Amino acid sequence: MPLRPQPKIISVKTAAMEAIVRAVDVGRGNTKFITGIKNAELCCEMFPSQAYPTDVGQRIRRLGHYRLMLRF
């Protein structure tokens, strides 16, 4: 059996390190999150938190449980 190559561990120290901070707010209406920082300002994005029910689909039984299978 061939031996795996050992990973090289490289230690790099710099005088100035930038902290990475991310935040997520999962609310009832929108999910908001931080994408980054630009010119000391937070860059934010959001998307809908809730998926609305659909009437398209069929219920099938698999492994003793019913599931709603959607058609796309």
Give per-residue pLDDT as tens, 13-38.
Answer: 555 666 565 777 777 788 888 888 88
What is the structure's pLDDT at 48? Answer: 82
What is the structure's pLDDT at 47? Answer: 83
Mean pLDDT of the chain: 68
Could you tell me where the DSSP H helices lie in the chain? none
Residue whose structure tokens are 């059996």: 1
- pLDDT band per the 50, 70, 90 thresholds, residue 44: confident
Phi, psi of 54 (to 5 degrees): -125, 150
Q: pTM above 0.75?
A: no
Per domain, the residue ranges of the chain are 20-50
- pLDDT band per the 50, 70, 90 thresholds, residue 69: low
